Structure 1
Amino acid sequence: MPDDAPWIVQKYGGTSVGKFLSTIVDTISPSYLETNRIAIVCSARSGKTKALGTTNLLLQASAEAMALDPPSPSSSHAGTPMSSSMSASMSRFDLAASQPFHSTVAQIQQDHLDAARAAVADADRLAQLEREIGEECDRLRSILQAARVLHEVSPRSRDIIMGIGERLSCRIVAAALNDKGRTAELVCLDTIVDDMDSDGIRAPSSVEDAGYLDQSFYDRLSAQLGDRIRQCKGIPVVTGYFGYVPGSLLSQVGRGYTDLCAALCAVGLQADELQIWKEVDGVFTADPRKVPTARLVPAITPEEAAELTYYGSEVIHPFTMEQAIKKSVPIRIKNVENPTGCGTVIFPDHASAHNPDDVQHDPFVDGHVEQPQPPASRAHTPGNVTPATGAEPLAPVAVPPLAHRKRRLPTAVTIKDNIIVLNVHSNRKTISHGFFARIFGTLDRYGVVVDLISTSEVHVSMAMTADIKPRTLERLSAELEHVGVVSVLRSMVILSLVGKEMRHMVGVAGRMFSTLAEGNINIEMISQGANEINISCVIHERAALKALNLIHYSILELSPKPCNMEGGSFGRSFF
């Protein structure tokens, strides 16, 4: 692998690391090493389910560290004569050993030890890895015990606790690569932000300095990450946790910080692409588990991906996309179970690149999307077998330019579950601007985020997630009753039709609502975004599956379909 070879950054989620580590080490990574340098970014590993994943167990351990002390064990020594000091020492020892977080940490440790033994064959390397896992878990116990003594888990402590999951995961991945004869180096980023300060590249000392972490901070951080990774020999295996940031990493970014770290690494390395490896083939026109005819979308724009992510399809966090896309790094979503599959590329289409100087690399060339296949297969013609994967390389996938498509279609339809609708009808004692001001001021005080809103001069309907606490909803409703009559609709979902081409389509909203009407599906609320690439409505959850299939069948299928829902085998008998 030449030193000047282009970089590819691969990000693997916790489930991928937990279930498909052998595929990552034996198949995926080697297939890129002939022509590229790769950097691997890993989330904390998950086992069979995310609920039992390392991140959730770490959060559980943090909560257990703050739980009330169990009853004093002094009664267990009632019949044994001992000094008062010895008794107190024994009581403290027993109490510490009985803390509930110890069993959770033991579960985390055992899970990673089992994974290490399955991934590493060399006895000496395995023994070293087991010692490192033990040291990480001992460090975790110390942090949790200190938090219990102080009866506080500070934002910085919580970030450090969460970061241990990535450290454990990356240690196993790096050891597995080395065990296969591929030099890999663990890159821990715990102090990367502090290093920026020591190098004279000042990060905001607090969120109050700028109100939030602005783009200049992330630009400096990406450059620092790139410099750190270039120093590695072999394959850098990078922790998704990149140290403490002002205001807490979890608060500033959330649990998607690993994706953000991968994007910043890709920007800092000026990588050819950022690959997000999941357990799905890419972005589909609808959820393939619910819509049998859903098809893979080979390419979407960042705007479409952001809308789909917000309204129910788990694509990639919009802020993570923004970091990569603004530096012209394409993002490819690939399936760890199907490494040679096409996947989906996220990149602005050529028609939206108004300033050529801002786009350093455009995967849309002459109406074609460059095939996101392993570079090892690029030197082979279709029909040959790549030595790295043993699979036949795929031919390039052509995507017709917008102007030459026979039938312009929206990109996808998606459902966001677990929604309630809060309706407020004015009592007409206030003027309209006061009516709206009272409503939105109240929502702000209670920290309620609204997904969709539809207004008139005296009426407001707001769709929001039903995760809001019942007590909070009661207080919110009681306060809003001062400005109008309040009603709540429960068990609702948001149905969204997304597509950048809808800006140029006439009648797509009419077709969408006519299709729902012919399917006898009642619409409670309608909203269209100002960007004109999203049309959403709220329906009852019992009609969600039917509506999803109807919209996909009537609007998103490649061949035109009759409007009559009773025709063919798709009629009412289908449902």
Structure 2
Amino acid sequence: MSASGDSTPSFASPSEPSVGSYSPPPTPPNLHQNTMDPDAKWLVQKFGGTSVGKFATKIAEEIVPAYLDDYRVAVVCSARSGSTKALGTTNLLLRAASEALQRGNSAGLVAAIPPQTPGTATPPAAANYFGRPQAQDAFSASTPPMSPTTRTRSHSSPRSSSPSPFSCISGLAFTPQAPSFNATVDLLKSEHITAAKQSVNDPGILRELITEIEQDCEGLRNFLFAAQVIDEISPRSKDSIVGVGERLSCKLVAAILRDRGIDSEFVSLENIVPEGLEESEGQGSRHRDVETLDQSFYDKLAVVLGERLKQCGNKVPVVTGFFGPVPGSLLKQIGRGYTDLLAALLTVGLEAAELQIWKEVDGVFTADPRKVPTARLIPAISPDEAAELTYYGSEVVHPFTMEQVIRRKIPIRIKNVENPSGKGTVIQPESELPGSPSSPDIEALVREGTPLSTLAEISVELEERHRRKRLPTAVTIKEHILVVNVNSNRKSVSHGFLAGIFSTLDRFGVVVDLISTSEVHVSMAIEDAGFSKKVLNRLVRELEKSGTVSLHADMAILSLVGRQMRNMVGIAGRMFSTLAEGNVNIEMISQGASEINISCVIESRDAEKALNLIHQSCLQIKPEGPRGRMGPWLF
């Protein structure tokens, strides 16, 4: 089912067998595999684009091998980053898609569909390129047969899974006047081939990996030519274009693992959604003509994902974050964070012991360590706290992604690829946190024979939690905020005032971060980024139908977060008194219904000063506390 009108793809192909029919190829000897212990739990490790781009060899040499003897490890990879943000794989793919639809680019494009010979299948339509391949693609047809050595390696190389989703788009040829996306695809291919040559030592594995990269990139190029011919890229087609990034990234990581002696298997999930699931279970509510997926869709998808990975035997599966067409487009439903969601669903489907999210910092800090020198690493945090920090500027884990795992009582651990031995920050269900009603009983653990080292760690954590009882957990800042004030023109007739404002915001797709209201006055804090001056002027004109509008730009949201704040008398007074003593003016104030967050809007120029003042006054963290390693950003 497609909201964009393109034909419905099939969800399986001969190269990606249905669940229950797959037999993994034989394993060459002397390769490190997942543990053979039948009782061992799964461990899902998700690596971001920067980690894959900068630390792929470290992942293969240090991180993954450290867990193979105790767990069954599954690896999920985002599209790799480039040497600059503009050269990131996803940015290049989106740029290529945009270039394919630029006017004037089609001059010189020739659709050279070769004549069909008797007995050959008709190539499928371009719009349905992710369906069952009906004929051998032009690339594979021109590739000589593999040697026996190459054929043996292919069982556990990147070629062991499905071909490119674009492989059945063939017969479109270049002309001397190639469009601009041609150079972008070349750049994408060059970036990945360079990374392959720098990371893979075995000539045979490297040769096969380069072949895979070239095949995927040429398939992408052919599809972009086809899209240019019809002058259209549907939302779901754009999904699959972006999904090429995960294919390339996972093939690279799988090859590096193999090169370092770890038996890996590249697993493509483009066709993982069972046929009929998106129609029968995927439809939830509708908003802006896009069907939202209900929880039953994700629950059933998690089961299918778990079954698919169990088919890998003892190989280490390297899994694409892109999981195929969904109603209304994957990018529109979830956004570019769909790889994290896939890792979460996979964790649920495998009933894993833990979901590890590996990035470039040691975990969640009490404040942004780039701005607050006394910021400290938080060992454990509740899901509600993590969600509040995410909403208000700290990149922890998206709340919806986190919910999929936490609701099954599975912890999420944020770890640092540059410091694998660090314990990171654990996002635990509230009942499992120290200090909760069901937190560990030291005497009971002693009776059960718990090792002294473990008891010591628990005691230290409980003591720290007791010391910090009734103290906030973290303070965060969200910049680039615009405050919109609306005063009703009808002082004595306020009926419909709020309804008019909120319907206008809905039409313009405005997300409000904070709001403060009275009968005839509304103050709203929204993100300034993403609004062009023209759109903002239109929004103001519409809001002026409800009242007088004033704008305040260059503002920031300061948020104090902590689950222990619910019954903390005087914490709001302390926060605002501290800001007043620091000569920081407050534009508006808001406290969330969860009562674990107190937020206010201040001027951006005061943001760093206010952050340090509140961190010192309200969190009361001693300078000798553990700081952890600081990366380029705060979660």
TM-score range, shorter chain: 0.7 to 0.9
Indicate the residue corresponding to 2:487 in structure 1. 425
| Residues 406, 318 of structure 1: alpha-carbon distance in 2 compared, 3 angstrom cutoff | closer
Residue 427 of structure 1 deviates from its aligned partner by 1.5
Secondary structure of 1:271's match?
A: coil
Query: How far, CA to CA, are the matches of 1:132 and 1:454 in structure 2?
Result: 55
The code of the aligned residue for 1:3 comes to: P
Distance 1:554 1:284 in 2: 16
- The answer to whether structure 1 residue 106 and structure 2 residue 186 are counterparts is yes
CA separation of 1:487/1:37 partners in 2, compared to 1, >3 Å: closer, same or farther?
Answer: same
Aligned to 2:64: 29
In structure 1, which of residues 421, 440, 443 is the aligned counterpart of residue 502 of structure 2? 440
Q: In 2, Cα distance between the equivalents of 1:207 and 1:65? A: 33
Conservation of the 8 A alpha-carbon contact between 1:273 and 1:330: yes
Secondary structure, counterpart of 2:496 in structure 1: helix
1:12 to 47, 59, 66: 47
2:585 corresponding residue in structure 1? 522
Q: Which has a greater percent of helix?
A: 1
2:319 aligns with: 238
What is the aligned partner in structure 2 of residue 366 from structure 1?
A: 441
Q: Which amino acid aligns with 1:451?
A: D
Partner of residue 134, structure 2: none
1:537 has 2:600 as partner? yes
> 1:565 maps to which residue?
none
Query: Aligned AA for 2:222?
Result: S
Aligned to 2:130: none
Deviation at 1:479, TM superposition (A): 1.8
Match of 2:135 in 1: none
User: What is the deviation of 1:428?
Assistant: 2.3
1:473 aligned onto 2:536: yes
Does residue 334 of structure 2 align to residue 253 of structure 1? yes
The farther-off stretch of 287-296 and 175-184 is: 175-184
Q: 1: CA distance between counterparts of 2:195 and 2:324? A: 25
Q: Distance in 2 between matches of 1:318 and 1:298?
A: 19
Q: Which one is further off, 202-211 or 163-172? A: 202-211
- For 2:241 and 2:197, the matched residues in 1 are separated by 24
Query: What residue number does 1:121 align with?
Result: 201
Query: Quick one: distance in 1 between partners of 2:362 and 2:546?
Result: 49
Q: Which moved more, 1:261-270 or 1:450-459?
A: 450-459
Distance in 2 between the 1:403 and 1:60 partners?
A: 48
Cα deviations by residue, 1:192-214 (Å, 9 ceiling, x for unpaired): 11x3538x994437976994211
Shift of 1:143: 1.6
CA distance in 1, matches of 2:458, 2:517: 47
* Distance in 2 between residues matched to 1:455 and 1:548, nearest whole Å: 26
| 1:78 alignment partner in structure 2 | none
> Is structure 2 residue 531 aligned with structure 1 residue 452?
no
Greater relative CO, 1 or 2 (CA 8 Å, sep 6+): 2
- Give the counterpart letter for 2:197 in structure 1: R
Query: What amino acid sits opposite 1:423 in the alignment?
Result: N
Secondary structure at the residue paired with 2:462?
A: coil
- The amino acid across from 1:345 in the alignment is V
SS at match of 1:521: coil
Q: Counterpart in 1 of 2:405?
A: 324
1:210, 1:401 → 2: CA distance? Answer: 49
Q: Describe how 1:218-367 pairs up with structure 2 within 5 A.
A: 218-233=298-313, 234-350=315-431, 364-366=439-441
Distance 2:101 2:190 in 1: 23
Instruction: Specify whether residues 143 and 291 from structure 1 end up closer, same or farther in structure 2 by C-alpha distance, changes over 3 A only.
Output: same
Check 1:152–1:183 CA distance in 2 against 1; reply closer, same or farther (3 A cut): same
State the distance in 2 between where 1:136 and 1:427 align: 60
TM-score norm. by structure 2 comes to: 0.77
TM-score, L = length of structure 1: 0.84
SS of match in other structure, 1:399: helix
Q: How far 1:350 moved relative to its partner?
A: 2.2
Corresponding residue for residue 374 of structure 1: none
CA displacement 1:71-121 (0-9 Å, x = unmatched): 9579xxxxxxxxxxxxxxxxx966575210111111110110011112211
Indicate conservation of the 8 Å contact 1:367/1:398, yes or no.
Answer: no
Give the Cα separation in 2 of the matches to 1:97 and 1:409: 65
Secondary structure, aligned partner of 1:59: helix
Give the direction of change, closer, same or farther, for the CA distance of 1:429–1:524 in structure 2 (3 Å limit).
closer
What secondary structure, in the 3-state scheme, does the structure 1 residue paired with 2:375 have? coil
TM-superposed CA distance for 1:421, in Å, is 0.4
* CA distance in 2: counterparts of 1:108 and 1:429, whole angstroms: 59
Question: 1:77-226 maps to which residues of 2 (within 5 A)?
Answer: 97-193=177-273, 195-197=274-276, 202-204=280-282, 211-226=291-306
Asked if the contact 2:105/2:180 (under 8 Å) is kept, the reply is no
Query: Measured at CA, do residues 235 and 476 of structure 1 come closer, stay the same or move farther in structure 2, by a change above 3 Å?
Result: same
Q: 1:402 to 1:216 in 2, by over 3 A?
A: farther
- Report the identity percentage: 59
1:524 alignment partner, SS class = strand
Question: 1:204-231: per-residue Cα shift (whole Å, max 9, x none)?
Answer: 3797699421111000000000000000
Query: Structure 1 counterpart of 2:617, which letter?
Result: S
In the alignment, what sits opposite 1:564? Answer: none
Match of 2:620 among 527, 550, 557: 557
Q: Deviation at 1:161?
A: 0.4
| Aligned 8 A contact 1:16 1:279 in 2 | yes
Between 1:247-256 and 1:46-55, the stretch displaced more is 46-55
Gaps of 5+ in 1: 75-91, 357-361, 371-378, 383-393, 561-575
SS in structure 2 at match of 1:319: helix
Give the aligned CA root-mean-square deviation in angstroms: 2.9
1:185 partner amino acid: E
Amino acid at match of 1:420: L
Q: How many residues align?
A: 515
Deviation at residue 49 of structure 1 after TM alignment: 3.5
Q: Supply the distance in 1 between the matched residues of 2:580 and 2:390 (Cα, whole angstroms).
A: 27
- Structure 2 residue aligned with 1:508: 571
Q: Which runs of 5+ in 2 are unaligned?
A: 1-34, 110-171, 624-635
Output the CA distance in 2 between the equivalents of 1:71 and 1:37.
Answer: 50
* Cα displacement (A) at 1:429: 5.1
Q: CA deviation at 1:380?
A: 11
